[in-house]
Structure 1
Amino acid sequence: MQGQVSATYVRLLHEYLARRGHDAQAVLGEALPTDDGSGLLRVPVTHWAALLARADAVLQEPALGLKVGAGIQPSHFGLLGYLTLCSATLGQALARLADYERLVYDVNQVRVTMLAEGVALEWGDERGRPGQRVDECAIAALVAYARNITAQPDAAPVAVRFINPAPADVGPYHAFFGCPVGFAAATTQVLLSPTLIAAPLRQPDPALHALLDAQARALLARLPPADDFERRLRETMAAGLRSGDASLAACATRLHCSARTLQRRLAAAGSTFQRALDDTRRQLAESWLADSRLKLAEVAQLLGYTDQAAFTRAFQRWTGIAPSHWRRGQR
């Protein structure tokens, strides 16, 4: 699992524990991170997941992430919060959140898709899966935030889907979101209706919006690069393998360049597209083979091979041994 989240989420958890009558520092085993005034204070997503797990072990409340995320306010996100507040519509505010998502949630990148039913915000697992608590907190915060800035406390998405397996009790999820909620989906997704997207905000201010937008761009520029070329390419290939199209043309499209440009960049790095694809498949194969719950045929399918035999031949070419032997060696 890779990535970081804003320390704001940790603050939300501290505030929730305090409301429940607990000493947050005692429960979590650490103090609230000290704000350095930069607007860039973040924590590894793995650490955030561990903090939620510690809180859950003490509180033992179903859907804890929903309750933590529900406490979000524009002030929690500082500059970005005020930027969204002075947007004209929820759609404009969400566009700003997508533009500057890395300031608050730098894990899997959001994809925005226009559908007949509305606008879909979608997160895959290119950089790993942070788990249900992390995901539900993030999605609950997004929906609660939309309700807050539109002054529509009962506003509901069209649908919500989580990439994680269904919990024992799905009731809290339906109650909070007020719409159908699915689990074990291909991606985590929130679908918002055109009516909600067009909802006006409480205090639009175009001049202030422009000023804050410029400040947010400057803040984003101070972050370390999101990815180098090789890592972005590998993530794109991994996503393509899962969707069934990891071809040169498809990967180039996802990277917003031409196939020829992608080939030139690979050649400059001393590689080829096929070699990079093989390396990506090998890394994914070793990761998935380490999970004993996945059958070899399932691993082959995930990697885009037509049958298990083709995967076995490729794996032997990469490593010199059959995947079944490699798996036994990891036990």
Structure 2
Amino acid sequence: MPRLRVRLGEVSVGFVKPLAQALLDLGHDPAPLLHRYGLHASRLAEAGARLSIPRYMHLGHAAIALCKQPALGLHMGRLSHLAQAGLAGVTAAQAPTLGEAARTLLRFEPLYAANYRGHSSFLEDPQGAWLRFYSISPYNAYNRFVVDSLMAGWLAQLGALVGVPLQAERLEMEFEAPDYASHYQPLCSSSVQFGASGNQLRLSRATLDLPNPQHCPSTWQHLLQLCEAEMLQRTRVRSLGERIIHLLGPLLNGGREPDLEEVALHLQLPTWTLRRKLAEEGTCFRSLLNDTRRDLAETYIRDTELAFGEIAYLLGFASAEAFQRAFKRWTGITPGEFRRSQRQVG
């Protein structure tokens, strides 16, 4: 079985537009920065064009350095529009209510963004709903703006849909309060909680039930059909091995590695059936786990500034030493040697 490559993920180039507008608002021409990252007008106009997660994070970090505004992500979010999420966003804009728009936007997230760490979720109950973004810890100057722009963006996009400024009932951020913590408060009617167990915001039932004045039932149903067809095309996998690789990313984390039994449970298969089917594909669970870890390790070392201890945590190793031993076994060189060789190539 050919080795399956793993990527950290990618986002629609539509996410670049609010970043560029935020820089303009702050008195900076975004064009030179965008050109440095290959984001010319023709690239930004390509249908379905994507930007890798590491490159997007580096772009955001460079933009923050340019304008010297660590809260740039929050400003980006306030400037974002549903159409920048492509077909999923346009479909959400035709939903009958604000709640259905939120559900649609998060349900079809794979059409505009994908991250091996997980996917956003819409968790509804009789009193309201949580809009939840997955963990991308450990947090640093490269990735915190992603969470900032997303949480602020959800509120701005949904508020624009119904024509009223929108605040969350509760707002929880997984990272500790940054220096610009006061900038979050306008997003929420109660105190923002930092250092929480996850990234999520709460909307009340009354907010979810707000009607969308632009709703057209026939257009809404047509767009839903298009989203479903596109999702089927994007998420169709060719083998059990590929399905397992999609599962491993969110399960890897925090000094522990997933085992065969855990993956079998997620796939709703007996462990013996899983072993047999993988053998029929010419592979085994341990090979898939090692290949996934190796690919992700190489990507993290090459494309991010994460310390090796942080990478070890993300890949489920008990310690940085265990990760470094495994990396040398896979590649014949240490993580430090690999990073230096990649910088020389760059």
Using structure 2 for the length normalisation, give the TM-score: 0.71
**Residues in 1 aligned to 2:314 and 2:161: alpha-carbon distance in whole angstroms:** 44
Distance 2:20 2:274 in 1: 46
1:59 aligns with 2:71: no
| RMSD after superposition | 4.4
Distance, in Å, in 1 between the alignment partners of 2:170 and 2:123 is 13
Q: Aligned partners of 1:191 and 1:247: how far apart in 2?
A: 34
Match runs of 1:48-87 below 5 Å: 48-87=56-95
Determine which of 152, 155, 161 is the counterpart of 2:173.
161
2-side partners of 1:256 and 1:106: how far apart?
24
* Equivalent position of 2:153 in the other structure: 141
Deviation at 1:288, TM superposition (A): 10
C-alpha separation between the residues in 1 aligned to 2:43 and 2:298?
40
For 1:34-49, list aligned pairs within 5 A: 34=42, 39-49=47-57
The equivalent residue for 1:265 is 277
Bigger mean CA offset, 217-226 vs 91-100: 217-226
Shifted more, 193-202 versus 32-41: the winner is 32-41
Shift of 1:25: 0.8
Q: 1:102 to 1:293 in 2, by over 3 A?
A: closer
Per the alignment, residue 118 of structure 1 pairs with 129
Go from structure 1 to structure 2 and tell me whether the alpha carbon gap of 1:227 and 1:174 turns closer, same or farther (over 3 Å shift): farther
- Kindly state the Cα deviation for residue 67 of structure 1 after the two structures are TM-superposed: 0.3
Q: Which moved more, 1:136-145 or 1:74-83?
A: 74-83
2:277 and 2:118 map into 1 onto residues whose CA distance is 23
Name the CA distance, whole Å, in 2 between partners of 1:300 and 1:4.
22
Cα distance in 2, alignment partners of residues 291 and 52 from structure 1: 16
1:210 corresponds, among 221, 234, 253, to 221
- When residues 99 and 120 of structure 1 are mapped into structure 2, their CA distance, relative to the original with a 3 A threshold, is closer
Q: Output the amino acid matched with 2:143.
A: G
Cα separation, partners in 2 of 1:118 and 1:279, compared to 1, 3 Å = same
Counterpart secondary structure, 2:42 = coil
Is this contact kept in 2: 1:119–1:191, CA < 8 A?
Answer: yes
> What code does the residue aligned with 1:208 have?
T
Pairs within 5 Å for 1:1-331: 2-30=8-36, 32-34=40-42, 39-107=47-115, 108-112=117-121, 114=123, 118-125=129-136, 131-162=143-174, 164-185=175-196, 187-220=198-231, 229-230=240-241, 232-234=243-245, 236-240=247-251, 242=253, 246-255=258-267, 259=271, 261-273=273-285, 276-277=288-289, 294=309, 303=316, 319=329
Residues 109 and 120 of structure 2 are in contact (CA less than 8 Å); yes or no, is this contact kept in structure 1? no
Amino acid at match of 1:188: N
User: Can you give the 5+ residue segments of structure 1 that lack an aligned partner in the other structure?
Assistant: 321-325
Q: Is the contact made by 2:253 and 2:313 (CA closer than 8 Å) also made in structure 1?
A: no
Structure 2: distance between partners of 1:79 and 1:284: 29
What is the identity, as a one-letter code, of the residue corresponding to 1:174?
Q
Q: CA shift at 1:204, angstroms?
A: 2.2
Question: Which stretch has the larger CA shift, 54-63 or 114-123?
Answer: 114-123
**For residues 143 and 284 of structure 1, do their structure 2 counterparts lie closer, same or farther at Cα, with a shift above 3 Å needed?**
same
Alignment coverage as a number of residue pairs: 319
Matched with 1:323 is none
Deviates more, 1:27-36 or 1:10-19: 27-36
Identity %: 23
Query: In the superposition, relative to structure 1, how do residues 106 and 276 fare at CA in structure 2: closer, same or farther (>3 Å)?
Result: closer
Q: Distance in 1 between matches of 2:81 and 2:295?
A: 40
Return 272-281 or 21-30, whichever deviates more.
272-281
Tell me the TM-score normalized by structure 1.
0.73
Q: Deviations over 1:17-45 (max 9, x none)?
A: 23333322134445544268664122222
* Letter aligned with residue 269 of structure 1: E
Q: Which amino acid aligns with 1:172?
A: H
- Structure 2: which amino acid aligns with 1:54? A
Contact 1:10 1:32 in 2 (8 A): no
